[in-house]
Structure 1
Amino acid sequence: MSDLDTAALRRALADQLADGGHLHTRQWRTAVESVPRHEFLRAGFFERVIGPGPTAWRPVPAESRGWLVRCYDDESFVTQVAGTIAPADIRGEILREPTSSSTLPSLVVRMLEDLQVEDGHQVLEIGTGTGYSTGLLCHRLGDDHVTSVEVDPEVSVRAATSLGTCGYYPDLVVGDGLAGHKDGAPYDRVIATCSVLAVPPAWVEQTRPGGIILATITGWRHASGLARLTVGDDGTARGRFLDGTVSFMLARPQAPPPLGMLPDFGSGEERRARLAPTLLTDPAARFVAQLAAPRAQRLTLPGPSGTEHVLLDVDAGAWAALLPGGEERWTVRQGGPGRLWDDVEEHLLRWQADDAPPLAAFEIEVSPEGQRVAWAGA
């Protein structure tokens, strides 16, 4: 396909993002129309295999039939699995977890709009990935104003190649993005394309007063919210969560510990649950539960009377198992130090008593003492 045809694909993508309410400003529209996304997917990508059983992925090589047009779909593409495996490394299907991806353009652009950059700003990007969002930042601000940190050396090299092909040469750093990049500080804006359990103190320290940090706060139960914080003169960052659903892969150093040998969920103290675990299908409720037990992972197990919902804090050794009963009643068994489901119920009942505010009503503060997240008035 000719350069003229790929320009048409870029314009069509910009039109789609604008019509969807994601793309608002002229500068970012120009960037979307100028930066060729397919150049950042030259190594191909993985597509999900639809079917029963565990999630499988199969490679879609670059230049294969339909590849170029798909590059301009508003879709996320997995570009690495299991920490090292690229699409060119296998044939057939693979049953491993994704570890790097090209985020759907509507989310990329929405976050860049939410970042509120201005000419001359210095931006730190955490998570280079394929380099597409880095390229958009370079087009908008200029190479000298963009620093991007990537933990995976091979991913960073591929991104550098793609960016160079497009004529962009930002400061690309291989390292732990949770530590930021002190040598380029202070920054006017920090944006994370991975999710984090908590905003790292280094990001706050490396952002100038009045600067903005945009990051997805998540947990080991996969409840996420996009937070925008402003750094104050006192070194504390404060802000709120933004509307809309946001999901990113968790920063690799913050991955949950292996479950290991499971406890005996038939033991422990038993009582009737005041709340059902099915409440946690609501994203805001799941986020509240995550605040109550931040180190707990969730799993489901088959039981004699139906699916059992389990919370397990591996490091603390605490657990809670909820078992279905008749007439939509649930029983909870809890063991180990502390009582996980007691803590979850306490938070959820207070949240319900405050009219169950949405995630956009939550506030976040990051100070030297740590991170605090709560809904307004809590």
Structure 2
Amino acid sequence: MTATEPGGHAALVEHLYARGLLDETWRAVWHAVPREPFIPQQAWRQRPTACEPLTTAAERLALIHSDEPVVIQLDDGEPGGPGIATSSNSQPRMVARMLRLLSIDGDNGHRVLEIGTASGYVTALLSRRLGDSAVYSVEIDPGLAHRAVTTLRAAGCTPNLAVADGEWGWPDEAPFDRVLATCALRHVPYALVRQLRPGGVLVAPMARDFWSGAVVRLTADGEGTARGRFRGGASYMPMRAHRTGAPAPVDTATCRTVPTRTDPRELLTLGFALYAGTRLPGVRMVHADGADGAQVWLQDEDGCAATAITGEDAYEYGARDLWQEVERVHEEYVALGSPGGGDFGLTVTARGQRVWLEHPERIIEPAPVREPAR
């Protein structure tokens, strides 16, 4: 379903149901909670390089009734900014996926903590499924939180809401049976793990330097540890406390040409992103796809960088042979059988978090940084 297809909210729900993203119970919940009231009049469509304002009522409704995200805030609500999306009503298929991964059960009295109220739409879906008293949601932005309260009340929902930094959860109301983050995390805050009951589940999108974004589903063991597997890709705006700054500038005078053994397209799988992001901490990767291949840009925190285009030589900058390091890590990954994203998992403890392959004992360690040969 695209933003130009008609059909309204009911058609969107049936689209998700036909794709197997909704069971019968969630199907009824989604039909009962239209998306449109939760979208402010001023909203934007997310584009690759900018946000495009919705200028007509027809355009606004077409996007709302599509399987696409709707941006509801730019620049943290501050006027005169560069126009960076800082809050959205998430893509419906992603919402449905994350809610399914929560495995919530109203009959068992599950209590859910949501990190990031935003528009209040996911909060309303949870309230409709579990009842208002079982739903807790925190939002760091006072303006978004105020609007969400008004919209939720108008929809007949009165969940438990608070203006707070979601990184710390809601300790006074813990423990919870489920925790759902609707913003991307660089790491899983241990406070959220501590607020889960034994057997409780946390579902969150994560985004690290190398990762394009991945959903993780963790289960708490009741002894201070949560672990689980990655469950597919995801692209969410970062939690405010987890935003990153710009890396050091690149010294272009150090540019050198190096031959390539790897097509950049081979680096764009979720499995490789999870593996390489763990082996090469602090290395960022962005990419662009074209008709004949792909281009990747790699950079570390010190300003060393590399870029490669399908069918061409690579270029490296700075003291680190970054492209050659990435190729070595890719060779390791291929030797492991090119595992998929679902083969990787995460363990979170009070001491930190570790990515593993296939089982929690097989932890992936960072690769040693080799001195360049000159």
- Equivalent residues in 2 for 1:121-132, closer than 5 Å: 121-132=110-121
Tell me if structure 1 keeps the 8 A contact 2:116–2:137.
yes
One-letter amino acid of the counterpart of residue 275, structure 2: V
Distance 1:308 1:134 in 2: 39
Instruction: Name which of 277, 280, 287 aligns with 1:290.
Output: 277
TM-score, length basis structure 2: 0.83
Q: Is the 8 A contact 1:57 1:95 kept in 2?
A: no
CA contact (8 A) 1:269 1:335 kept: no
The answer for the alignment partner of 1:140 in structure 2 is: 129
Q: Which of residues 331, 342, 360 in structure 1 aligns to 2:342? A: 360
Deviation of 1:192 after TM superposition, in Å, equals 0.7
Q: Which amino acid aligns with 1:330?
A: A
| Residue 309 to residue 139, structure 1, CA distance change in 2 (3 Å) | closer
> Aligned equivalents of 1:75 and 1:308: distance in 2?
26
SS in structure 1 at match of 2:137: strand
| Contact map agreement 1:298 1:309 (CA 8 A) in 2 | yes
Q: Tell me which amino acid in the other structure corresponds to 1:77.
A: V
Q: Is 1:46 equivalent to 2:44 in the alignment?
A: yes
The runs of 5 or more residues in structure 1 that have no matched partner are 1-7, 302-306
Distance (whole Å) between structure 1 residues aligned to residue 91 and residue 255 of structure 2:
45
Equivalent position to 2:332, from 350, 371, 375: 350
Contact 1:41 1:130 in 2 (8 A): yes
Q: Secondary structure at the match of 1:133?
A: helix
- The answer to whether the Cα contact below 8 Å between 1:163 and 1:169 also exists between their aligned partners in 2 is yes
Deviation at 1:300, TM superposition (A): 7.9
Q: Deviations over 1:263-287 (max 9, x none)?
A: 3143389865554544323333233
| RMSD over aligned Cα atoms | 2.9
Q: 1:15 to 1:278 in 2, by over 3 A?
A: closer
Partner SS state of residue 194, structure 1: coil
The alpha-carbon distance between structure 1 residues 294 and 131, as it changes in their structure 2 partners (threshold 3 A), is farther
Deviation at 1:197, TM superposition (A): 1.2
- C-alpha offsets along residues 18-46 of structure 1, whole Å, 9 cap, x if unaligned? 1122112x321121011121110133311
Report what 1:319 is aligned to. Answer: 304
Q: What's 1:3 paired with? A: none
Structure 1: distance between partners of 2:54 and 2:82: 12
Q: Gaps spanning 5+ residues in structure 2: where?
A: 1-6, 289-293, 363-374
In structure 1, the partner of 2:21 is: 22
Q: Relative to 1, partners in 2 of residues 1:299 and 1:351: Cα closer, same or farther, differing over 3 Å?
A: closer
Residues 1:76 and 2:76 are matched in the alignment: no
2:367 — aligned with what? none
**In the aligned structure 1, how far is the partner of 2:219 from the partner of 2:51?**
41
Q: C-alpha distance in 2, partners of 1:300/1:116?
A: 34
Secondary structure of the 2:14 match is helix
Shift in alpha-carbon separation, 1:361–1:232, aligned structure 2, 3 A: same
Q: Identify the range of structure 1 (276-285 vs 34-43) with the bigger mean alpha-carbon deviation.
A: 276-285
Distance 1:321 1:47 in 2: 32
1:223–1:290 Cα contact (<8 Å) kept? no
In structure 2, what is the equivalent of residue 171 of structure 1? 160
Query: What is the CA deviation profile of residues 316-344 of structure 1, one whole-angstrom value per residue up to 9, with x for unaligned ones?
Result: x251324669x6443544426xx655653
Aligned to 2:314: 330
CA distance in 1, matches of 2:41, 2:327: 47
Equivalent residue pairs, number: 347
Preserved CA contact (<8 Å) 1:126 1:193: yes
2:233 alignment partner, SS class: coil
Q: Aligned partner of 2:352: which letter?
A: G
Q: Hey, what's the Cα distance between the residues in 2 that align with 1:49 and 1:363?
A: 31
